[in-house]
Every structure is written in structure tokens, then in C-alpha cells.
Amino acid sequence: MTLSSTLTLPPALASSSPRTLTGLRLTTECNAKHDGFTYCACLSGYQWNASVCSHHPPCQFLHDYHPCSCLIFGPTEAGYCQLLPPVPGTLRLNTWLQVPGNTLNVTLLTSHETTNLNWFLRRTGSPRPIRLQPGTHVSLTSSQGQAVLSICNISHQWQGEYMCCFEAQGFRWELYHVVKVPLQATEVARLPDQLSISCATSPGFQLSCCIPRTHLGYTAAWSPGQRSEASLFNTPGDQCLVLAVQHCPIADTIYTCDLQSPGLTPVRVPVSVTIIQDGDTICPEDTSAIAWNVTKAGHVAQAPCPVNRMGLVKRTCGPDGTWGPIHSSCTDAGLLALLQRAELLWAGQGWPAEEVPQILAQLLEQTVVVSSPSDLLALLGTMTFLAKVVADTRIQINRSALEALLKTTNKVLDMDASSLWTLAHAQKPSAGSDLLLAVETMACSLCAQDQPFSFSLSNVQLQTQLLGPSFPADYRVSFTTQPPLQAQIPRHSLAPLGHNGTNVTITSLMLRKLDHLLPSNYGQGLGDALYATPGLVLAISIMAGGQAFNQGEVILDFGDRDSTLHCVFWDHSLFQGNGGWSEEGCQLQTGNASPTTQCICQHLTAFSVLMSRHTVPGNPTLELLSQVGLGASILALLVCLGVYRLVWRVVVRNKVAYLRHAALLNMVLCLLAADSCFLGAPLLPPGPRSPLCLAAAFLCHFLYLATFFWMLAQALMLAHQLLFVFHQLSKRQVLSLMVVLGYLCPVGFAGVALGVYLPRGKYLGEGACWLDGKGGALYTFVGPVLAIVGVNGLVLAMAVLKLLRPSLSEGPQMEKWQALLGVVKALLILTPIFGLTWGLGLATLLEEGSIVPHYVFTILNTSQGVFILLFGCLMDKKVQEALLKRFCRTQPHNSTISLATNETQMPEHSKGSENGR
């Protein structure tokens, strides 16, 4: 190269004595371009100083990344490179050859003060170095004169040239070290990894072993290789050695792919080839979708994925020679590349502030290629890793990146649930929960200059609001759903966040269809029943000073759902991380005048409401049976009251008969009032905010319980008469105790149920003025009823034994024996009927899939008045003869009733003594 130039000295030097040029060194080589800019590169041993380098862009055409070796200057700018001093540091490795799974330590030792220190990795085949940041694999530490880069659980993805860039002595320095990671057998892909073949139908076959392109230092060879031909084949991410076997071996053979690199232990990967012999059970050739060759029973046939998809297609040949289902792990190569890039970004490779928006934009473009569950899981995995990066690094994303995220989410929620989501959940149950957490995390990371921001698509609606240090009013947000969805955060919940002038960002996100994609997991208090959700999830988050706040009161209005609901939120920590619905900290708001469903929660997260899925709604036959049965029961009870009005004085001639019929009369009155109230309850507006509905439910609960407690009082009176023959209480005392048991105990149970379950929103059943069968309120009725039935059964057993073998000393008088026998007869019939009725009632709570228990329970329950009339009243022979005496005047007026009746007519002096007891 010839250099020629005229050197002109300044006038002051030209007029002085002659000067001698003793040496000339070239430091900088500049090239002027047509655009007017000059590209100036430093020659060996020289470099632009850090100040000049920071004010000029680097030359982009250079293949080697040395940011201060070539700079671009403007037309009027000039400069020259400076001589580099000795390197002010050294770079050391714990070992250049790393064992996979171990920890790599790269240490920089410096003799001068350093600034702007950064670490980079130039991976094999990568054009530019990748910046390393703290992540799940990367940790950075520094102290005086020392900086350490540590990478745990190292793999081939961390192989390459490590660079440490820093500034010292006015220059930028770059120190390098190459790290190699040996290839592992698990990183070698074999297609197929086993093969069964029929030499008659397929005389030749192909085997391939592929290694990541980061291990290009390896050479591959197949053995045995006789009568075969091997060739190299490159894919976007792998390098494959394909062995074409021209002639089928005679016997079973194991082929080995030998991978070798200088100085490293060889890696050998076997592939077993099984030859199908005559008489072997086989699956025939099948070319319906994919070409499946003849395969031996018990073996797995394998096929490659289509172009631009990675993975395997497998199909098992059953022991009886029939093909099994096809299992494909084929995933779009573009989606896998984004997944790997996001995972490495979370591990510590890359610059999150730049790469997260780029990956989100590319992910939106890739949604059109999602055609399999593995594609969907790769897309969801990418979103999950990006959300973890955003949460760990606390970066903020811009509006375009957030729009790309929301558009991707909208398309994902529209994907077919049966062909994609169901199969994806089978492989990863937490798929829906992961999507919710990822979108929720990134949605609240919008940078402040892009707020307020609103966005609306068919499945996604987002509203963000930036509040100043002072909060003049409550925060309110509404979404255009049917019915409308609204949320409110009271001012007193936001006030503590505004101290020290901190701005507060509130993000409200509504997602349609996502609740149907979440697993049906229910936390404590919701039971094992299946519920339905309204088709939407509302997520609210608050950021203040760069930190997320999860505590705060929020009032949610889900509109008029015409039913009693469970206020729930999605807890990602439940069910081993798969997530589940929980009602902790949330409750149905009661006592307000709003006709809509409102929930109040003491924390912020993703909310929804649950409705019972397996009720028996709107069954006209069941409703008709209930109404007809209640009508018949009320009519029978009125007839019973009329009978008692006619024969009362005749049938209560002694204490036992009086107490027995007094208890039965109170049962009739309570059941008559309860049936009337229950029959009229559907006419009232349902819901916990309706006072009339609450009153009807409480009265029905109390009156039905009172009916059974009076039946218990009748049984206990029977037991007292049989067990305490010589220690009888007076009629007044027994009646007082029966009243306490028959009315005060039911009031206690009904009051406790109202006080405990109403504040929790679990008192009333869905769309009815009756107790909730899911929240536990109904068990405060069924439990005492079944307990009463059990006690009555024990009393009856004891009574039967006593009456069958009466003692001469303890046996009651004949007339009392007849009266007690009447009580036993009535209880023997009513107790099993009532016990069966509410046993079926319990079955309808526990078994919701069958309609049969509902029909049987409805018929028996609504016919209780008929049973009392027939078996409690009309079966009594005293009542029968009194009715005959009144309506059939064939007998003399003063005829004596036979001892075969339940109660014997008593002389006047005897009746007086009994009444005095």
C-alpha cells in the first residue's frame, strides 16, 4: 500500500529552523462513504478512548464485535485512536471443560479501578454476543479488584466464548475465554430410537442421529457400516448423520452412532433393529394418514414430523397385532425457538427490556400456526417464561408490547377447547392457570408514560389508571359484559398507598372464556361438588412505587345472576401449584338495596363467581308433584284438625292419651303452617336481600324442625311411661317439657343457622327461599331430623320389648297399656316413613347425578300430612269409634267401648284422679 500526502506545517513552525521527521505511526484508518459519514477503524495496538466511543455509533458491518475498534464520524468530525496501555486485568476459569450440571465460575482480576463492567456470551453459530444478566442460572458478584460470573447447572446452551467488557484507564477493554461443554447422550436425537422391520416388505431402512449445532466440533460415524451409506443432513437447529442401510440384516442388530471430538470422551448412542421372523405377530402396513410400516407386536413405530415441525410421531403395535392410537409431539419450529429464547432469557441470557417486546410481537404472529396441543403448550410456556422475566427484573413494557400480549391472549382464548385445550390439560393440568398468571403479571407492568390505557377485544378488556398521591374518591371500573361487570375499591383502601407522593397504578383485566379453561379444583369450604362459572374472570392489581400490593378491599358487582352465588378467587398455590377456586377472604355482600350480585373481598387477584352445576332446575314434572303433594298434605292436615274438633273430648280421657294427641295436634299445626309457607315461598323474590324470602326460609326451617321435635317428644313421653312406672310426672309437667322440646329447640337450631350462614352468603339455596344445600345450612335441618329418627327407633325397640314381656310389678294399667300401644303403632309407621324421606333428602345432597332420589323424596316429603292423617289419627280405634258414634246413631249413647280399642272409657272418679296428676 502506497501513502502519499503533502504535509503542510503551521506558519509559526515554517518560519523557524528546519524540522526533521524521525518516525511516522498509523493509528487510524478512515473511509469516507457517499452518505457523508466517515468510518474510522483503529489499527492493531490502538483504540478509541471511552469518551469518544460513548459519543459515536459503532460500525455495524464488522463481523467481530469490538464496539470501540471502529466508529462512525460526521462530515465535520475528526479524531484518532490512542495507544493502548497494558491490559489492566486477567480473566480466569475454574476449568475450560465443563461437566454438564456443574457450576461455571469466570473470574476477572483487575489492577485498576473498573467501571461499566458487563458480561457477554458468544454462542457457537451466533453472530453477536448475548448479554448476561442475573437469572435462574446466572449470578454476578463483585468486590475490590475482582468480579465473578457464576452459571449453575451448565449445559450445551452455555457453551461458547465468554467476554468480560469494562472500562479502565480511559479505555474499554474486552477479555475472552472459550468454554466447552461435552455432549451428553440425552442430547442426541435418534430417529428412530428402536425399529422392527420385515425384510420381505422393506429390504432397506434409514437411521439418523442428530446433535445440536452448538456441538459442531464432533464427528459422527455409524457402526456397523458395511453395505451402508452415511451422509450429513442439516436442519435449522441440528446436524444429522443419516445411515442408509441398503440390505436388511439377517438377525437382530444393534447399530451405534459414534460421536467423537478431540480430547473428549466419545459418545455412543445405540439403536436396536429387530427383524420380524415368520410366525411373529405383527401390525400390518397402514398408510391412512402417515406411512406406518409392518411392525412387530409390542414395539413402537416412529415417524418424523412434517416440515418445519420438531418432535416425533409414535404408534404402538399391541400384543394382539392391532394398532394403537397415534401420539404426536410435533411442535412448530418457530414456537419452539421462541420458547427456548424466553427460557434462556429467564435463565440470564439476553437483555429483557429489549427482548420481551420482541418476543411478544413474534409470538402474536405465531398464533396462526397453533394446530396441536404441543403447539399450544409451547405458546403458553413462552408467555409464562416472559411473565417470570418481567416479575423478576421488574421491567416495564410499552403499549405496543402490551397490545401484542392482549391480542395473543384473545386468540388463545378462542382456540378450540375440545381439540386443543382438553388435550393440553391432559399433558399439563396447570395450563389455564399458567395463562391467567402470565397475562395478569404482564398486564400490570405497563410503563407510566403510556397510561391511562384501555383495550377491548371479544375476549379481553383492559383498563389501567394512574392515580396521583391524593385520591379524591373511590376507584370504579366497569366492563361491557352482559350483565355488566363492575368493580370498586374504596378510597380508604387506597389512602395508605399514596404516602410520600407515590403514584399508584390500578390495572383491571377482564377475560372471557378463561374460567372454562381452568381446572375444576375447589378449595376448602366449597366441597367436592361441580360448579359452573359465568364465563368471565376479573383480575385487579395495584402497583405503587414499583411494588405490587395484594391487600385491599374490593367490591365486585357481577350483575343480576338470578341465583345465590359463591364469591371466589383463583388461588395459584392450591392443588400442588395447579391452582383452584377459593372463597377465603371473599363473601357475598348482604344488607344492601342493590338487586345485583355483589361480592366483597379483602385482597386483590383474579375473581369470579361459582354456581352449582348439578341442581334440578326447572323440572316441570317435579314442580307439579311438589305442588300437588303439598296441596294434598295441607288438605289432609285440615281434615285432621276437623276430626280432632269433633272427637277431642272423647279421645283424651286419660293422661297418656291426652299427651299423645296433644303432641300429634302440635305436629299437625306445625306441618300445616310449614307446608303453607313452603308452597307460597316461590311467589317471593329470591335472594338474601329479600326480607320476605329470608323470613319464609327461617319459618320453614323452624316449623319443619318443630314437627320432628314434637314427634321426638311423643317418643320420649312413651319411654318415660314405660321406664318410670312408679315415678310419674304430672300431666302439666310433661306437657311443659314437651313444649320446650317441641318449640324452643327448633328455634335454637334455626336461629344458629341464620346467624352463622347468612353473613357468609350460604344461608339460602340457589334461586329459592329455602336452605342452601351446599354451604352447610341444610345440614342444620337434616342432621337433627335424622338424629330424631334414630332416637325414635331406639325408643320403639325398647317399647316393643317392654310391651311384649310386661312385668307384674312394672306393667302399666290396662287402659294405659292400650294408650301406649296406640303411640307405638303410630310411631312404628311414621318413624320409618320420615326416616326414609330424609335419608333420601340426604342422598339428593350427596348424589346429584341421578333424578330418581329427587322424585321419591318429593313424593314422600310432600305427603307427610297424608301419613299423619292416616296413621297418626284415623288408625286410632278410639278416634274411629268416636266418629262412628257421632255419625252413625245405631249404638246406645252410653254404650261401653271394648277393651280392644286404644283407650278404655274411664269412670268419672277415675278421670278426675288422672287429670289431677
For residue range 604-623, list pLDDT tens digits in order: 877 777 765 444 444 677 67
Confirm if 697 and 777 have CB atoms less than 8 A apart.
Answer: no
Instruction: Evaluate whether 181 touches 158 at the Cβ level (below 8 Å).
Output: yes
Are 410 and 457 in contact, with CB atoms under 8 Å apart?
Answer: yes
What pLDDT, on the 0 to 100 scale, is given for residue 324?
92
From the list 103, 210, 213, the residue with the least C-alpha distance to 157 is: 213
Contacts of 787 (CB under 8 A, 6+ apart): none
Q: How far apart are CA 554 and CA 603, in angstroms?
A: 7
User: Parallel, antiparallel, or unpaired for β 194-197 and 267-275?
Assistant: parallel
Euclidean distance between CA atoms 277 and 274, whole angstroms: 9
Q: How far, CA to CA in Å, does 901 sit from each of 175, 867, 870, 880, 904? A: 115, 21, 17, 9, 7
The SS3 assignment for 720 reads: helix
Distance in angstroms (rounded) separating the CA atoms of residues 573 and 801: 59
What per-residue confidence (pLDDT) applies to 803? 59
Phi, psi at 57, each rounded to 5°: -75, 150
Strand partners, 221: 258
Residue 332's pLDDT is 93
Cβ proximity of 167 and 114 under 8 Å? yes
Q: Are 349 and 338 in contact (CB under 8 A)?
A: no
What's the pLDDT at 907?
Answer: 35
DSSP E strands in 592-655: the ranges are 598-603, 606-612
What is this structure's pTM? 0.67
The residue to which cell 299445626 is assigned: 669
Task: For residues 51 and 59, give the distance between their C-alpha atoms in angstroms, rounded to a whole number.
Answer: 17
Overall residue count recorded for the chain in this entry:
917
- State the pLDDT at residue 16: 61
Q: What are phi and psi of 336, to 5 degrees?
A: -65, -40
Backbone phi, then psi, for 732, in 5-degree steps?
Answer: -65, -40
Those residues whose C-beta lies under 8 Å from the C-beta of residue 139, and which sit 6 or more positions away, are: 149, 150, 152
CB atoms near residue 186 (< 10 Å): 8
- Given a contact cutoff of 8 angstroms between Cβ atoms, the answer to whether 123 and 214 are in contact is yes
Q: What angle do CA 173, 178, 183 make, to 5 degrees?
A: 155
Within 13 A of 853's CA, how many CA atoms are on the CB side? 16
Are 165 and 261 in contact, with CB atoms under 8 Å apart? no
E-strand spans in 572-654?
A: 580-582, 586-588, 598-603, 606-612
DSSP-based helix, strand, coil % in the chain, nearest 5 = 40, 25, 35
738 contacts: CB under 8 Å, gap ≥ 6: 659, 662, 663, 710, 713, 717
Q: Quote the pLDDT of residue 572.
A: 87
Low-confidence ranges of the chain (pLDDT < 50): 1-5, 62-63, 591, 593, 613-618, 807-812, 848-849, 890-917
pLDDT of residue 406: 95
- How far is residue 52 from each of residues 56, 67, 381, measured CA to CA in Å? 7, 11, 43
Closest CA to 282 of 307, 318, 306, 243: 318
Please state, in angstroms and rounded to a whole number, the distance separating the CA atoms of residues 317 and 305. Answer: 19
